[in-house]
Amino acid sequence: MITIKKVQTKKDLKAFVKFPFKLYKDSKYWIPPIINQEIESFNKDANPVFKSAEATFLLAYRNNEIVGRVAAIINWNEVNQQNLKKMRFGWFDVIDDIAVTQALLDEVDKIGEANQLEYIEGPVGFSNLDKVGVLTEGYDSIGTMITWYNYPYYVTHLEQLGFKPEKEFIEAIFSFNDVDPDTFVKANELIKRRYQVKALNFTRTKDIMPFVDDMFDLFNETYKNLSSFVAITDIQKEYFKKKYINFINPEYIKFVVDKDDKMIAFAIVMPSFSKALQEIKGKPFPFGFFKLIKARKESKDVIFYLIGIDKDYQNKGITAVIFNEYYEVFNAKGIQNCIRTPELKENYAIHQIWKHFNSKIHKRRKTFRKNIE
């Protein structure tokens, strides 16, 4: 018999976060989160996302053993401002038993019905900076710290329960050795002169901070027309500054400004922490922290996390300015592989950015949807 219980105590929440460690203990491809950081992100007093969203964390038990988990999420900004009557679900992990999946998602359905919502979609997080999608291709490729991993049976479970694909995302990789600088080095100087723009580079994290609010504003503006987008609020900006910026090498953050110093483009690249996170198994102390610092400095793989370009400067070659700056940094650091994070299949503007790179799609993922009846 399967029993579904709401997470109510700190002990329950820790069990919720640690369940995947057991489920994926033999996987070479799953990337563990940092346990305390994951718990903190679910702290309703610490994470400002809970000012406009709510979540119910659910655990599935059989014979007093945890066999599945899911977070049932309502983003009220999405519901009230965009009139999307969506019940989200995320942090979804189960053993290979469709009865467990059904029991968990039935509870999500009930929460959605009680709140007069119309459909369920997932796996998704609270916002566009959270992880997204069930992996549908690329099960034999190591993950990243900003994506979920899952076994192939997750898709089978969802399909058998009547869920239909809603959105598709692609992930690609290219070798830095294959990058031809001629595609952007000359164009870089031409674009700078033609549009009177310049790149901003950094060596210290504290020097980046005065620009971060403008970056998030441009992010909101750039992505607002995508079907899955929910804008980041001012309160969330402060939270994300602390959560993400310190993880990133300052020379991996690039801004482009116009002649009036208005930001017209940004890009964030992260070093890959995948191997280090696997080694420390979710525990940065006492010695894991040093492995993370080493990865931050020495990782030969990088992840293109976010890129945004003002609509008035799209298709004008601004990416040549951005890639020229990265080329110099990556060349000096001996970077080997460049990884593109999940990109919405319909986001053609992003796909165009990579047209001169020999990218190979190595993973696909989808969100799944089902009407609440």
In a domain, 53, yes or no: yes
**Alpha carbon distance 218, 205 (integer Å):** 20
Q: Are residues 152 and 203 in the same domain?
A: no
Three-class DSSP category at 20: helix
Q: Are residues 292 and 257 in the same domain?
A: yes
Q: Are residues 154 and 181 in the same domain?
A: no
| Residues linked to residue 271 through DSSP beta bridges, in sequence order | 302
Alpha carbon distances (Å) from 244 to 205, 253, 309: 11, 12, 20
Residue whose token pair is 């020999």: 358
In a domain, 373, yes or no: no
Separation of first and last alpha carbons in the chain: 25
Angle between helix axes 185-195 and 318-333 (nearest 10 degrees) is 140
Tokens representing 97 are: 């038993």
**Alpha carbon distance 327, 174 (integer Å):** 14
Supply the pLDDT for residue 39. Answer: 96
In a domain, 219, yes or no: yes
Q: Are residues 59 and 145 in the same domain?
A: yes
Among 121, 142, 169, the domain-final residue is 169
Backbone phi and psi for residue 220, each to the nearest 5 degrees, phi listed first: -60, -40
Supply the pLDDT for residue 251. Answer: 95
Domain ranges, residue 242 = 175-364
Supply the pLDDT for residue 229. Answer: 77
Alpha carbon distances (Å) from 242 to 24, 102, 173, 206, 221: 29, 37, 28, 11, 22
Supply the pLDDT for residue 228. Answer: 66
Q: Are residues 188 and 96 in the same domain?
A: no
Q: Are residues 113 and 186 in the same domain?
A: no
Q: Are residues 57 and 181 in the same domain?
A: no
Backbone phi and psi for residue 217, each to the nearest 5 degrees, phi listed first: -60, -45
How many of the other CB atoms lie within 10 Å of CB of 88?
A: 24
- CATH value at residue 79: 3.40.630.30
Among 148, 169, 190, the domain-final residue is 169
Supply the pLDDT for residue 348. Answer: 82
Among 142, 169, 196, the domain-final residue is 169
- The string of DSSP letters for 160-209 reads HTT-EEEEEEEEEEEEGGG--GGGTHHHHHHHHHHHT-EEE--SSHHHHH
In a domain, 372, yes or no: no
Query: Are the C-beta atoms of residues 267 and 322 closer than 8 Å to each other?
Result: yes
Structural domain total, the chain? 2
For the entire predicted model, the pTM comes to: 0.92
In a domain, 351, yes or no: yes
Q: Are residues 42 and 159 in the same domain?
A: yes
Q: Are residues 112 and 143 in the same domain?
A: yes
Residues (pLDDT < 70) of the chain are: 227-228
In a domain, 68, yes or no: yes
In a domain, 308, yes or no: yes
Q: Are residues 72 and 160 in the same domain?
A: yes
In a domain, 370, yes or no: no
Q: Are residues 281 and 152 in the same domain?
A: no
Q: Are residues 164 and 179 in the same domain?
A: no
Supply the pLDDT for residue 250. Answer: 94
